[in-house]
Structure 1
């Protein structure tokens, strides 16, 4: 990559730094949960539209999803923006940083798309925290022509990838029968007892789980009043395993734990599947190596491993199964706070977080420019050689 291109990228990043930080703080102050990111999606899309991006809103039948495109080059690249918050704790996973960095990378590259031969898409992807917006966009064919994709994500440490495992949400409901808890308990069917039996069975199941397998969840509805036999209870659980194949073995075992509760109490059991499983992540090592180099050049310090040790799941992993992708971590000064804690929410608008927004945007932009400027790499992505290698890696 030429010194002239690097200089142009660095110069634009410096010019838009205040805009990106303002956007990050604005999204942080207005947290919106999955599929309800009406403000964040519009704010980010409007900035891209003002920078001459062609914005298609409401894609994949989601009101808060969009694809913003600029350029007509033969190398097609997608940068993914997330902007959904968590219930109660707001942006405790720093999606305000993710969104602002993605928009920043798009703005930094926009003046150079013709010179670099790029068709660049910034994708607004809803509901990463539960709903799988990227999976819906993937299934709708919106990644079909994309040659490579990327995003960044904040955490307590800096790394060139996020250690990701496969995950499946399990929403369950038990239906029993109401009765007076003191006068006529024998006439009721206690749905809370069914949930209790299920949780005990899951606790016992943990002893025989394979390394890396996890089960966690909570009761979302436990009854109506202490003097009424609970006729309805509900819970939301997540099963995790190293791969989708392992998950396919684990989930039926968990289902049987809930079935035990239904059988033991005579309650009716319902399983509610709202979205597809998140897969394991396949990091494209070529992209990761380029990102490491360009992130350091952008002012970042890359660790040899995430600290503290972390494992997570993301719908970006499903994209990585279809398209060469990376998902680097941006370290912010949050410790001892970690993701999904309210203290991490506060850390996501600190000076360290603001620096991560701008430098993360620049690191992605420089990575994409480096690929576009290398004729050998460019050909490998455009001609599908990287996709073939990805399929071979999955098969092995």
Structure 2
């Protein structure tokens, strides 16, 4: 990678710094939930369109998804921009930083696209927190021509190639029979009791879970009034595991716990997936090494590779992307005190001076990583060969990831 090309990328990020920080703050101040991120998507798309990117809205059949492309090189560099927020606590996962850093990387790469023979393709990916926007876009073919995909996620820690936990979001609905809770309780079938039995069973099961397996859930509807035997109740559980195989085994055991609630109370029950299944991250080692070199050059100190191999992050639909094509999902540290992702204090930190620095450092490190891959003949050939192998007879990635689940 020539110093001139790196300098061009740096100059572009510096030139757009104010706009990138403004974009991050605007998204943060106006949080929108999964598949409702109309204003956030428009903000990102508008910045890129003003700089000559060709923007297509509603890609993959998703209203709040879009692509923004620049250049005509055969190597397509994908950058994922997340922008959905969390209920009640807004951008407590820092997706405003993700969106702005990917935008910055796209603008930097546009400066050198013709020189290094690439097409820059930023994909606006909605619904990461729940809904699996990337899985839907993968299945719709939006990533078919992408040779590598990248993004950077804010965190208390600086990491390059940590893996993540696979996750299934499931809802259980129990149906019983109403009755007066005092005058004729014997005529009722209590759907709230069914959930209680299932929760107790899951609580006891936790002692025997495999390493890396986790279960957490909430009751979303428990009844209408104390004097009415509840006939309709629902709960949502997140199941996590080290990989899809372990997740499949975990789901079978949790479904048995749900069945226990029905057997004990006489209620019927139904289990549904409320979101796409997220696979575990599979970071590309060469890209991770290139990113490590880039982010270190910017003065950041990422976690030691040996420590990373033992560290698993939360769950993300970027895992599905990295199982389908070469990609990375590093984390970039911000000053957040003792706070962690999904806490209000972390949300506040995501518009701090350190967060603004993370936007710019993340953008430049992603750009330099893409340049390194595009200008290394061996890696360029590998990445282009991967696209050629994927295009014929493409299998829906989300369906493949969900293989083995009921």
TM-score by length of 2: 0.92
| SS at structure 2 position matched to 1:174 | strand
What's the Cα RMSD here? Answer: 1.8
Partner Cα distance (1:147, 1:309) in 2: 27
2:77 touches 2:148 (CA, 8 Å); kept in 1? yes
- Tell me which residue corresponds to 1:366: 368
- 1:227-256 CA-partner distances (Å, limit 9, x unpaired): 221121111101111111111111111011
Partner Cα distance (1:265, 1:110) in 2: 62
CA gap of 1:275–1:258, structure 2 versus 1, over 3 A, is: same
| SS at structure 1 position matched to 2:324 | coil
Mapping of residues 143-182 of structure 1, within 5 Å: 143-182=143-182
- 1:314-346 CA-partner distances (Å, limit 9, x unpaired): 100001011011000001111310011111111
CA gap of 1:158–1:386, structure 2 versus 1, over 3 A, is: farther
- 1:362-387 CA-partner distances (Å, limit 9, x unpaired): 11011111111222221221123997
**1:12 lines up with 2:20 in the alignment:** no
- Tell me which residue corresponds to 1:333: 335
- Tell me which residue corresponds to 2:142: 142
- Tell me which residue corresponds to 1:77: 77
Report deviation, 1:311.
2.9
Mapping of residues 1-396 of structure 1, within 5 Å: 1-304=1-304, 305=307, 311-384=313-386
Partner Cα distance (1:233, 1:347) in 2: 38
Partner Cα distance (1:286, 1:386) in 2: 19
Q: Which moved more, 1:4-13 or 1:77-86?
A: 4-13
2:79 touches 2:150 (CA, 8 Å); kept in 1? yes
Structure 1 unmatched ranges of 5 or more: 389-393
Report deviation, 1:161.
2.6
| SS at structure 1 position matched to 2:46 | helix
1:380 touches 1:386 (CA, 8 Å); kept in 2? no
Partner Cα distance (1:296, 1:207) in 2: 41
TM-score by length of 1: 0.95
Partner Cα distance (2:263, 2:62) in 1: 39
Structure 2 unmatched ranges of 5 or more: 391-400, 402-406
2:176 touches 2:266 (CA, 8 Å); kept in 1? yes
2:168 touches 2:273 (CA, 8 Å); kept in 1? no
Total equivalences in the alignment:
388
1:193 touches 1:261 (CA, 8 Å); kept in 2? yes
Partner Cα distance (2:299, 2:70) in 1: 27
